[in-house]
Amino acid sequence: MEAASVLSSSSTSSFSLSHMLLSSYTSKPHVRFIFNSLSKCTAGSRLLFSSNHSVQRFSLLPPSALTFEETVDTFSVQPKIDKSGRFCSPRAARELALMTIYAACLEGSDPVRFFEKRLNIRREPGYIFDKEWLMKYNHMNFGGPPVKTETVEEADELLKADENDSEIEAEVLSAPPKLVYSKLILRFTRKLLVAVEEKWDSHVLVINKVAPDNWKNEPAGRILELSILHLAMSEISVLGTRHQIVINEAVDLAKRFCDGSAPRIVNGCLRTFVKDLEIAKDARVNPSVFT
């Protein structure tokens, strides 16, 4: 039997991410994402959206957690699984950091504390994680425009493939992090989160300046996109990773977890951010030129 069907090929990753973090089927929950005013924050979200809490306790991290930018030019050159059978690529760390920021926003909590809590959560009795899921997991599973099929059978095959990808991602993303990620990746993830927390308030102002109006008008529906911006800006400004690497990674995260024009907008916002950083740096080095 033939039929013309149109299937959305947007990534199932955002579904898996939301399902893992929220135990719901809503990929863009309607929660408050504060842009500018601390006074608008609920009591539960003050730790995340203000700088009143101290981040000094997180400063003593192993220096090895800062070495990725020296060894990585493209994601493809990195081995996906290390000898212990765990994810070992910087992409995995950035995904985990993004998931943590997203979940912390929804909960109104501190992202570093949220991460520590998840790391130390007890496993359910009898829980067994099949590491074969890691071999099947695809960090480059991007979305795209709707796909048109000519037959119901073809549409069913595509739906089956999407469901299989969702199952793999749900298993991996909901598993205890220590079973999924290498120690180096977990340290790097924590370093990213500390950087995000440290720069949150200042980057809120930057995002208010560079983000499009439609994002600012519907922040509850743009939590993932805004989290990507916070993550990338913090990695550039605090960790010093080369901006070309960070922007490419951020765009890939947007392709993977967001819909529509998000990758293009993320790219534009970050390039404006980098340009402004360079102008500010030049002003500090050569103040006479700007007076």
The confidence score (pLDDT) of residue 50 equals 36
The DSSP code for 55 is -
Share above pLDDT 70 across residues of the chain, in percent, rounded to a whole number: 70
Amino acid at 61: L
For 223-258, the pLDDT digits (tens) are 999 999 999 999 999 999 999 999 999 999 999 999
Phi-psi region of 133 (alpha: psi -120 to 50; beta: other; left: phi over 0): alpha
For 35-49, the pLDDT digits (tens) are 333 333 333 333 333
How crowded is residue 59: how many other Cβ atoms within 10 Å of its Cβ? 9
| Residue 270 tokens, joined | 């970050």
Q: Strand pairing of 147-151 and 2-7? A: antiparallel
The confidence score (pLDDT) of residue 115 equals 97
pTM of the full structure: 0.74
- Phi and psi at 142, nearest 5°, equal -95, 160
Share above pLDDT 90 across residues of the chain, in percent, rounded to a whole number: 44
- Mean pLDDT for 63-89 is 61
